[in-house]
Structure 1
Amino acid sequence: MAGSFDPYDKNSWFAGPMTRQEATDLLMAENDTGRFIVRNSSSIQGDLVLCVREDNKVSHYIINKIQQGDQTRFRIGDQMFPDVPSLLNFYKLHYLDTTPLIRPAERKVEKVRAKYDFTGSGDADDLPFKRGEILTIISKDEEQWWTGRSSLGLTGSIPVPYVEKYDESQLDGQNSQGLSSPVQSGSSQLLPISRSSSERNRYNTPNIQRKLPALARVKQARVPNAYDKTALKLEVGEVVKVTKININGQWEGELRGKTGHFPFTHVEFIDSENSEEDES
Structure 2
Amino acid sequence: MANFDAFDRNSWYFGPMSRQDATEVLMNERERGVFLVRDSNSIRGDYVLCVREDTKVSNYIINKIQQQDQIVYRIGDQSFEDLPELLSFYKLHYLDTTPLRRPAPRKQEKAIGKFDFESNDHDDLPFRRGEILTIIRKDEDQWWTAKNSLGQIGQIPVPYVQKYDDNSEDNSIERPNSGGSGCGNIISGTNSTSRTRVLSGGSGGGGSVGGGIAIQSSHQLGNALKKSDLNRKLPAYARVKQARVPNAYDKTALKLEVDDIIKVTKTNINGQWEGELKGKKGHFPFTHVEFIDNEMDSLKCSTSNNCSNNVPNANDWGE
Q: Normalising by structure 2, what TM-score?
A: 0.61
In structure 2, relative to structure 1, the CA distance for the partners of 1:146 and 1:32 (3 Å cut) is same
- C-alpha separation in 2, matches of 1:242 and 1:260: 15
Per-residue deviation, residues 17-43 of structure 1 (Å, max 9, x unmatched): 110000000000011110000001111
Matched residue SS, 1:95:
coil
- C-alpha separation in 1, matches of 2:279 and 2:93: 63
Instruction: Quote the residue 2:6 is aligned against.
Output: 7
Amino acid at match of 1:193: L
Instruction: Quote the residue 1:130 is aligned against.
Output: 128
User: Number of residues paired by the alignment?
Assistant: 225
- C-alpha separation in 2, matches of 1:171 and 1:243: 40
- Map residues 106-121 of structure 1 onto 2, 5 A cutoff: 106-120=105-119
Amino acid at match of 1:108: K
- C-alpha separation in 2, matches of 1:244 and 1:135: 36
Unaligned 5+ residue runs, structure 1? 180-189, 195-200, 203-210, 218-234, 268-280
Aligned 8 A contact 1:93 1:100 in 2? yes
- C-alpha separation in 2, matches of 1:52 and 1:12: 14
In structure 2, relative to structure 1, the CA distance for the partners of 1:245 and 1:11 (3 Å cut) is farther
1:212 aligned residue (239, 242, 266): 242
Instruction: Quote the residue 2:230 is aligned against.
Output: 193
- Map residues 11-90 of structure 1 onto 2, 5 A cutoff: 11-90=10-89
Aligned 8 A contact 1:114 1:134 in 2? yes
- C-alpha separation in 2, matches of 1:132 and 1:266: 19
Q: Which of structures 1 and 2 has the larger relative contact order (alpha carbons within 8 angstroms, sep 6+)?
A: 1
- C-alpha separation in 1, matches of 2:228 and 2:163: 19
In structure 2, relative to structure 1, the CA distance for the partners of 1:82 and 1:261 (3 Å cut) is farther
Among the aligned pairs, what percent are the same residue?
51
Matched residue SS, 1:4:
coil
Per-residue deviation, residues 222-246 of structure 1 (Å, max 9, x unmatched): xxxxxxxxxxxxx886354263699
Per-residue deviation, residues 161-209 of structure 1 (Å, max 9, x unmatched): 2222112222256342789xxxxxxxxxx98433xxxxxx59xxxxxxx
Aligned 8 A contact 1:37 1:105 in 2? yes
- C-alpha separation in 2, matches of 1:171 and 1:40: 35
- C-alpha separation in 2, matches of 1:101 and 1:9: 15
Highest Rg: 1 or 2? 2
**Are 2:280 and 1:243 equivalent residues in the alignment?**
no
1:149 aligned residue (147, 150, 153): 147
Matched residue SS, 1:138:
strand
Report deviation, 1:69: 3.1
Aligned 8 A contact 2:253 2:282 in 1? no
Q: Normalising by structure 1, what TM-score?
A: 0.69
Matched residue SS, 2:20:
helix
Aligned 8 A contact 1:244 1:253 in 2? no
Unaligned 5+ residue runs, structure 2? 176-185, 188-226, 234-240, 289-319
Report deviation, 1:143: 3.4
Amino acid at match of 2:253: E
